[in-house]
Amino acid sequence: MSDFTHLDENQQPQMVDVAEKPVTRRTARAEATVNLTPEVMKRFERGDIQSKKGPVFHTAIIAGIQAAKKTSDLIPLCHPLPIAKCSTTVEPIDDSRVIVRTEVVTDAKTGVEMEALSAASVAALTLYDMCKAITKGIVIENIRLVEKTGGKSDFQTNTR
């Protein structure tokens, strides 16, 4: 017997059977840190900046929300879920970094951790895409689940 829920008795990939699980409120929060560099951050001194592709932070926020909604299209064994709430924020940490924070909520038989992580990842990648013309030295790091509630167990990471 495997400890991996996405493998069957023959060690073949499978979507987890959630048919008998109850519908409960499920929440997940995730984050990613993006080192945009001081050169890029100087351009955000008065809030969001306009690039040829649009407002940078707002575009990243929308991309994060879209990623949460499309997670089951991206991650092969994820169940499609009815997203009740999805929020993404982008906030400066210091003179070179921002933090992307996401929260996803559903009433379903399985959790939304992957949706929250997808939202944080794609929002961070969108920041990279929109700022790469200024520098390619942007670093995305510490993509992680911060908290999940609902289902069999809750989880909360140690805060920094």
Active site residues: 129
Distance, CA of 1 to chain centre: 31
Phi, psi angles (nearest 5°) of residue 119 = -60, -45
Contact present, 112 and 27 (Cβ < 8 Å): yes
DSSP-derived secondary structure for 58-78: HHHHHHHHHHHHTHHHHSTTP
**Of 110, 94, 87, 136, nearest to 15 (Cα)?**
110
CB neighbourhood size of 100 (10 A): 28
Residue 136 CA to residue 129 CA, distance in Å, equals 9
**Of 61, 60, 116, nearest to 83 (Cα)?**
116
Residue 136 CA to residue 71 CA, distance in Å, equals 27
